A and B are shown apart, each in its own frame.
Chain A
Amino acid sequence: MIDRGRIGYTTPPSAVTIDAWRVQLFCRATGETDPSAWSPHAVVPPTFLKAMETEHYSSAALLTLLDVPLHGVLHAEQSFDHHAPVRIGDELQIERRIERIEDKKDGALTFITVDTNYRLAARLAARSRQVILVRNRLPST
């Protein structure tokens, strides 16, 4: 049983700078061919912010905090809302919050909802939501 006391846990915000190489590696890995993505102050691809979370506090680290083994965990949902363009060279303030932990199917499955805020100079530039699916009855290895 995952500790419900962690609902509402918010990571201490940290600042992360978006380096060009990081965006270019992401574009190469995803086959991004939009030529503007390769310019020096390019707006980052719509799902790139997820990669920046790992520089702050990764979902794997959040699962460790919750004492959930990575084994058997799947990604159930993901969304991004972009309020202002985020570009190469920008410094983002990131914070993540555990919004919900809910059991389904008599506890066979647990859904963990994590919201992430990305701010540029104190202004909300984007927000994402990740729902992680934990399969509790998977045979252990």
Chain B
Amino acid sequence: MTFPVRLTLRCGPVSAVDLALFAAASGDHNPLHLDAEVARSAGFERPVVHGMLTMAYAARLFTQSFGAARVRSLQTRFVGVALLGDTIELEATLQRTEAGDAHYALRAYTTAGTELAAGTAQVAAAMP
């Protein structure tokens, strides 16, 4: 099985509705993501996009190409913060294949150039 060398996805701009919907879907109701006043008091200009929403977008790089069942692992380090209204770019680059599995390096950043997350993913060669 050959794996694509590069996968990309653009999500957003992330709206207030997107953040409210994700709060409901994820059970993370931290007002940092929903309330501009709370975000400001925590040092952010606008409500903060859930890190887990960025990571869910990153997972789509793989589910759209391979399906959820083949994603063996996904790991991200959140290095920056996306804010309400930002557009998020996701990118995965094939590093190597090992025992048939693909190992990708991951990156998420805003179209304005703020780095959001770096990580890795392992995708199984075939349906487990």
Contact = CB atoms under 8 A, between A and B. Distances in A.
A28 B60 CA distance: 12
A78 B68 contact: no
A52 to B, nearest CB: 8
Interface residues of B, number: 42
Contact of B60 (A31, A58, A70): A31
Interface residues of A, number: 43
Contact of B73 (A34, A81, A138): A81
A26 B25 contact: yes
A91 to B, nearest CB: 18
Contacts of A28: 21, 25
A53 B27 CA distance: 9
A79 B53 CA distance: 14
Contact of A30 (B28, B57, B76, B77): B57
Contacts of A120: none
Given A30-B56, A33-B60, A46-B62, A79 B24 contact: no
Given A37-B63, A50-B52, A25 B73 contact: no
A29 B16 CA distance: 12
Nearest to B22: A29
Q: Which of B29, B53, B55 has the most chain A CB atoms closer than 10 A to its own CB?
A: B55
Interface of A is mostly: mixed
A100 to B, nearest CB: 16
B68 A45 contact: yes
A67 B85 CA distance: 32
A55 B67 contact: no
Nearest to B42: A72
A79 B76 contact: yes
Interface of A: 22, 25-26, 28-34, 36-37, 42-47, 50-51, 53-55, 58-60, 70-82, 84-85, 138, 141
29 contacts: A22-B25, A25-B25, A28-B21, A28-B25, A29-B25, A29-B53, A29-B56, A30-B57, A31-B11, A33-B64, A34-B64, A34-B67, A45-B68, A46-B62, A47-B52, A47-B56, A50-B52, A58-B28, A60-B29, A71-B42, A72-B42, A77-B75, A78-B55, A78-B76, A79-B73, A79-B74, A79-B119, A80-B75, A85-B69
